[in-house]
């Protein structure tokens, strides 16, 4: 565990850093608010990229899960599944970027309900889809997606492994 001196140093360092970081954050926020019309497109573009990344990773994970749980069906409809996933990812990301752009149109109305709702939806959607897919597949824990379909890790048989600790021959 940390010694009391080390803990004091960490607490003092943290307290010393919080104020300057807070001042920088407030000034950066004020600058963005004054120039919101110029930042609006950049923020909407960032929302678009974020949607592409988060939803794209979720779609990739779902496609890998489909390949793992139903390989023959997935092989037969692979291109359709990839096409549908791509369209959904593009539409949700574009919608998130556009709604973010609309939500930032008036700096006097911030925080805007639309922007907060869209941002919350963009964050929660991949988690909700992942949780729903795991429940539908009957999987509770982490899925090792790097294993090829049909291959499962096998533990070594007791005959080939090392003898138990108490019995040395």
Q: Residue 123 domain-assigned? A: yes
Q: What is the pLDDT of residue 166?
A: 58
> CA torsion sign, 144 to 133 to 117 to 84?
positive
Q: What is the pLDDT of residue 6?
A: 85
User: Which are the contacts of 65, defined by CB distance < 8 A and separation ≥ 6?
Assistant: 133, 137, 143, 145
Q: What is the pLDDT of residue 65?
A: 85
The alpha carbon of 135 is separated from its chain's Cα centroid by a whole number of angstroms, namely 18
Question: 3-state class of 166 per DSSP?
Answer: coil
Q: Residue 60 domain-assigned? A: yes
Domain of 102, in residue numbers:
37-137
Q: What is the pLDDT of residue 143?
A: 47
Cβ of 54: how many Cβ atoms within 10 Å? 19
Q: Residue 82 domain-assigned? A: yes
Structure confidence by residue, pLDDT tens digits, 146-159: 555 455 555 555 55
> Into how many domains does the chain fold?
1
Structure confidence by residue, pLDDT tens digits, 48-96: 999 899 889 889 988 988 888 888 888 899 999 999 999 999 999 999 8
Residue 50 buriedness (CB in 10 A; 0-12 / 13-18 / 19+): middle
Distance CA 20, CA 61 (A): 40
């Amino acid at each position: 565990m940390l010694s009391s001196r080390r803990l004091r140093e960490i607490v003092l360092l943290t307290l010393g850093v919080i104020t300057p970081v807070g001042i920088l954050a407030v000034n950066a926020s004020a600058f963005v608010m004054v120039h919101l019309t110029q930042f609006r497109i950049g923020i909407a573009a960032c929302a678009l990229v974020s949607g592409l990344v988060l939803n794209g990773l979720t779609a990739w994970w779902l496609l890998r899960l489909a390949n793992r749980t139903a390989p023959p069906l997935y092989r037969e409809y692979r291109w359709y599944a990839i096409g549908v996933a791509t369209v959904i990812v593009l539409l949700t990301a574009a919608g998130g970027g556009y709604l973010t752009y609309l939500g930032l149109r008036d700096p006097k109305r911030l925080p805007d309900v639309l922007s907060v709702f869209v941002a919350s939806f963009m964050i929660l959607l991949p988690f909700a889809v992942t949780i729903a897919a795991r429940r539908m597949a009957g999987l509770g824990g982490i899925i090792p997606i790097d294993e090829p379909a049909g291959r499962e890790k096998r533990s070594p048989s007791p005959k080939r492994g090392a003898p138990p600790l108490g019995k040395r021959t």
